[in-house]
């Protein structure tokens, strides 16, 4: 009487580890997607100091109503905000 040879478990020995490797590589590619794309071309604008601005505080923006301009918002003086200038 002979004992049958063990079944070849292709799914658990090959396909499952291969699936894990594929999923890990896909997650790494997704996480690095910004590094893999070409850079965005931007225009750098120097800081413009408005005339009559004092180094001291409250009197600096008394006439225009503006005390501080947020970084990234470049527009006309007194433009009023997003798209209003």
Mean pLDDT, the chain, integer: 75
Query: Which residues, at least 6 apart from 12, have a Cβ–Cβ distance to it below 8 Å?
Result: none
Phi, psi dihedrals of residue 59, rounded to the nearest 5°: -80, -10
Phi, psi dihedrals of residue 3, rounded to the nearest 5°: -90, 135
Structure tokens at 15: 């396909």
**pLDDT digit string, tens, across residues 16-50:** 999 999 999 999 999 999 888 888 888 888 877 77
Phi-psi region of 13 (alpha: psi -120 to 50; beta: other; left: phi over 0): alpha
- Give CA angle at 58 (50, 44), nearest 5°: 30
Please give the model's pTM, rounded to 2 decimal places: 0.42
Domain ranges of the chain: 10-35
């Amino acid at each position: 009487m002979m004992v049958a040879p063990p079944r070849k478990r292709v799914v658990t020995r090959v396909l499952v580890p291969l699936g894990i490797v594929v999923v890990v590589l896909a997650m790494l590619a997704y996480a690095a997607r910004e590094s893999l794309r070409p850079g965005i071309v931007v225009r750098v604008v120097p800081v413009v100091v408005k005339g009559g601005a004092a180094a001291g505080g409250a009197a600096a923006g008394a006439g225009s109503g503006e005390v501080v301009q947020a970084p990234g918002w470049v527009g006309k003086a007194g433009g009023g905000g997003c798209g209003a200038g």
